[in-house]
Amino acid sequence: MKVRQLPVIASLLIAGVVAYTQLPPEPPAATTRAASAETPAAQGVPPLLKAWQEGRGDLQIEGEGEVVKVLKDDLKGSRHQRFILGLPWGQTLLVAHNIDLAPRIPDLKAGDRVSFYGEYEWNEKGGVIHWTHHDPANRHPHGWLRHGGKTYQ
């Protein structure tokens, strides 16, 4: 390297350092991840789908689906009317409706639409919704089912 080139190289290095320090700082990685984590919700991902994808439960959820299958009642302990709902995005959901505390949905059949509000518990098959009734002790949010224009709670 020739001695005459040193001042030119030094000037270029100094200019590069000055230019670099003038750039706006990049956002921290956590901010970037938080923004991308919020993106699905902004795009309209239903809370129930998000909870299932994330393996989360113990959540109060409202939704609606189509009855895919009516199951036999669970008669062990508190009695529950059980049926499976198909949700618009392909997930299925077991509904366990306590018929000791709330009226049964009569004449429920595949193809019927049912709206619900209750507590969601995760499982790999799509999850379970329960607490679809009032809480006589008032310690838990009251849930409900709606079918054919009638509310069952």
Q: Are residues 30 and 12 in the same domain?
A: yes
Is 150's pLDDT higher than 90? yes
- C-alpha torsion sign, points 78, 82, 88, 89: positive
pTM greater than 0.85: no
Q: Are residues 72 and 26 in the same domain?
A: no
Q: Residue 141: which CATH number? A: 2.40.50.140
Dihedral angle computed from the Cα positions of residues 137, 123, 70 and 139, in that order, rounded to the nearest 10 degrees: 10
Q: What's the pLDDT band for 3 if we cut at 50, 70, 90?
A: low
Q: Are residues 49 and 105 in the same domain?
A: yes
12: containing domain: 5-40
Q: Are residues 36 and 49 in the same domain?
A: no
Q: What's the pLDDT band for 10 if we cut at 50, 70, 90?
A: very low
Average pLDDT, the chain: 80
Q: Are residues 32 and 62 in the same domain?
A: no
Q: Are residues 146 and 72 in the same domain?
A: yes
Q: Are residues 24 and 89 in the same domain?
A: no
Q: What's the pLDDT band for 1 if we cut at 50, 70, 90?
A: low
Residues 31-42 pLDDT 10s: 323 333 444 444
Q: Are residues 113 and 50 in the same domain?
A: yes
Q: Are residues 15 and 73 in the same domain?
A: no
